[in-house]
Amino acid sequence: MWAIFRRELRAYFTTSLGYIVMGFFLLMAGIFFTVNNLLGASPDFKSVLGSLLFIFLFIVPLITMRLISEDTRSKTDQLLITSPVGVTGIVLGKYLAALALFAATLAVTGAYPVIMSMYAMEPLAFLEILGGYLGFFLLGAAFISVGLFVSSTTENPVSAAVATFATLLLLWIVDWIQPSLPKDSLSGLVFVVSLGLGAALIVHLTLRSVPVTVILCAVILAAAGTGYALQASLYKGIVNRIVGWFSLVKRFQDFGLGVLSLGPIVYYMSFSAIFVFFTVRMIEKRRWS
Amino acid sequence: MIHVENLTKRYGRRSAVQGLSFTVKSGEILGFLGPNGAGKSTTMNIITGYLSSSEGTVTVNGHDILENPKDAKRQIGYMPEIPPLYPEMTVQEYLRFAAALKGIPRPARDAELRRTMGMVRIEDVSNRLIKNLSKGYRQRVGFAQALLADPPILILDEPTIGLDPQQINEFRTLLKSMGGNHTVILSSHILSEVSAVCSRVLIFNRGRIVASDTPENLVRGVSDHNSMLLRVRGRESEVRKAIESCPGIRNVTILETVETGTVELSAEGRKDADIREDLFKALSKASLPILVMKPADSTLEEAFLSITGDDKEQK
């Protein structure tokens, strides 16, 4: 795993990718810091981190696009998969390399609060800033795990980059669309049923067995229908709640306030773990089909 | 050493390989021979654990490739059809990475790198970027990678593609010197390649093994006749008359003339009759000098074509 980690990390800097990622991010960070904190004479570093988060959305696809797709395309995955490392080790090595590049880039911006503290009239809210960094890192780790997964679904780094960007943008606007989603129980029922049927479709495509699919659909419809008949209020606002699970950005706000609660930390870490796991399954699936 | 049983790989409805069973003994050099798309690479990819089989089992040195993949993979050095190289790395960086992947401890890596680079003679390019290397060198870097950690089993998919004749010769010598204490499987669609180094050949066609034997036996299997190729100075009618007077001769075919004033022909004798002496006596009696006489043995090529051809007719 560490061999792959070291190779991937070095590959960022033997190609131009690592320099582009670091250079672009640090340039934007420098501009925000100068305009907001230095010229604006403001001690508020949280808002700089907030703006950088949006920039980071454009950078994630660059970091993750070739992680797995390149190996699939150039067949170097034959070397990795036939070595005694194991698919989980391969995926983790690559994921950690991307995280390390991100962490190193983020660490450089740590110089700004230090500069501010040297000239500040009153002590900075260091804990708030540290919390903000922790949140930024965890959110970035979740973004990168999505990009890693997308990279495992294609052989083409460019399609991986575009698809990653689209997915992240969708996750980004979840907060905006959430309030306008219908809240009545009937739409809740329709939403749950279509999710269930979607899952049944995936099962059908994997197993290709008509009886299993028919039985599964019947069970889903019956369960959803019975639930609705017995207690329709169960479905009230369920659309909101389910969509809310994917709201990555909202949970970031807490960190900026200097509130360190376990919930969002666990949320981000499990979100990343699930996507790393999906990536492993994706590679395994390619070996089987 | 390697035990493959009832191996099947399906892609949707199409089968890439179907019901393969064979055993490779320790120290054996086994050749996979067959036209492109016959299932050679797929079989190798399954044995090395790159692909999973749809049915059947592969056991490598007692380790099942699905149940115990790490131990099984440690036994194997694999060189795929396209060497899995990272173009932006130097040869040394790449081999060091591959050595780390194979779990060679850090202090031993340098010595191991020197050993394998020496075996395939790539020391002089060790600091060059792989993307700047010629095809022959890339092939050799791929081979060096397979040799790292000195695995007891080597699986080489079309290893000599892109090598020049001298390099092919070197490669064969290297391979022969390793046979005995290494088990080798190599694939090729070039017949001379397989007959030069392999002690046993499996012929693949359309995802099945259609023949399995030593190269010599495969050739013998199809040559039930016994014929000689001759070049004789003289007129065609005289030559034909002289040869047909021999007792053991069954059939004479006149071939295209190669040298002016001579006749090119193939004389077929009855099975288990030695016609060479009879031919010499008959022709010298008619004072027709024999310029060339050689056995018209069928080659592995003919064996291969006749075996895979039969299979097509059956379908």
pLDDT in tens, B29-38: 999 988 888 8
CA distance A114 to A118: 6
The boundaries of the domain holding residue B274 are 225-296
pLDDT level of residue A8 (50, 70, 90 thresholds): very high
pLDDT level of residue A92 (50, 70, 90 thresholds): very high
Size of interface A-B (CB pairs under 8 A): 67
Give domain status of residue B45, yes or no.
yes
| Chain segment A103-112, per-residue pLDDT in tens | 999 999 988 8
CA B142 vs CA A82, B119, B122, B130: distances in Å: 14, 12, 11, 11
Average pLDDT estimate for A231-245: 77
CA A184 vs CA A181, A188, A237, A243, B218: distances in Å: 10, 7, 6, 15, 77
CA distance A150 to A69: 9
- Starting at the edge strand found earlier in the chain, the sheet holding B183-188 runs B76-79, B153-157, B183-188, B29-33, B200-205, B208-213
| Chain segment B112-167, per-residue pLDDT in tens | 999 999 988 899 999 999 999 998 899 999 999 999 989 999 999 988 887 888 88
CB B207 within 8 A of CB B15: yes
β-partners of residue B5 are B57
Those residues of chain B whose CB sits closer than 8 Å to some CB in chain A are 11, 45, 48-52, 69-71, 73-74, 76, 78, 80, 82, 84-89, 93, 97-98, 100-103, 145
CA distance B292 to B285: 17
Average pLDDT estimate for A64-70: 93
Nearest-5° Cα angle at B175, B221 to B163: 95
Write the DSSP assignment of A116-145 as a string of letters: HHHH-SS---HHHHHHHHHHHHHHHHHHHH
CB A213 within 8 A of CB A204: yes
pLDDT at B313: 42
B149 and B207 inside one domain: yes
Percent of chain B having pLDDT more than 70? 90
Return the structure tokens found at A79. 């070397």
CB B218 within 8 A of CB B203: yes
B73 and A11: CB-CB below 8 Å?
no
B111 and B177 inside one domain: yes
Window from A208-217, B11-20, B184-193, B268-277 with minimum mean pLDDT? B268-277
CB B137 within 8 A of CB B170: no
Return the structure tokens found at B38. 């016959």
B50 and A2: CB-CB below 8 Å?
no
pLDDT at B302: 64
ipTM score here? 0.84
Give domain status of residue B315, yes or no.
no
Give domain status of residue B301, yes or no.
no
Nearest-5° Cα angle at B272, B266 to B278: 55
Q: What is the pTM of this model?
A: 0.82
Give domain status of residue B309, yes or no.
no
Exposure string of B270-284, with b = 16+ CB inside 10 Å and e = fewer, is eeeeebeebbeebbe
| Domain end (from B221, B236, B259) | B221
Q: Is the pLDDT of residue B315 over 50?
A: no
Please state, rounded to an integer, the average pLDDT across all residues of chain A. Answer: 87
B191 and B252 inside one domain: no
Find which of A132-146, A166-180, A181-195, A223-237 is predicted with most confidence, using mean pLDDT: A132-146
**What is the sign of the dihedral through the CA atoms of A176, A180, A181 and A185?**
positive
Give domain status of residue B56, yes or no.
yes
β-partners of residue B79 are B156
For β-strands B183-188 and B200-205, DSSP reports them as unpaired
Average pLDDT estimate for A63-69: 93
| Domain end (from B157, B192, B221) | B221
What are the chain A neighbours of B93 within 8 Å (beta carbons)?
Answer: 10
What are the chain B neighbours of A14 within 8 Å (beta carbons)?
Answer: 88-89
B87 and B187 inside one domain: yes
pLDDT level of residue B300 (50, 70, 90 thresholds): low
CATH number at residue B289: 3.30.70.3190
Return the structure tokens found at B132. 């700047």
The total number of structural domains that make up chain B:
2
Max distance between CA atoms of chain B, in angstroms, equals: 78
Give domain status of residue B308, yes or no.
no
3 state DSSP class of B214: coil
Q: Report how far Cα B67 is from the mean position of its chain's Cα atoms.
A: 31
CB A83 within 8 A of CB B70: no
β-partners of residue B14 are B11
Q: Is the pLDDT of residue A4 over 90?
A: yes
B148 to chain A nearest CA, in Å?
11
Window from A238-252, B159-173, B233-247 with minimum mean pLDDT? A238-252
Give domain status of residue B312, yes or no.
no
Find the CB nearest B88 among A15, A79, A82: A15
A84 and B73: CB-CB below 8 Å?
yes
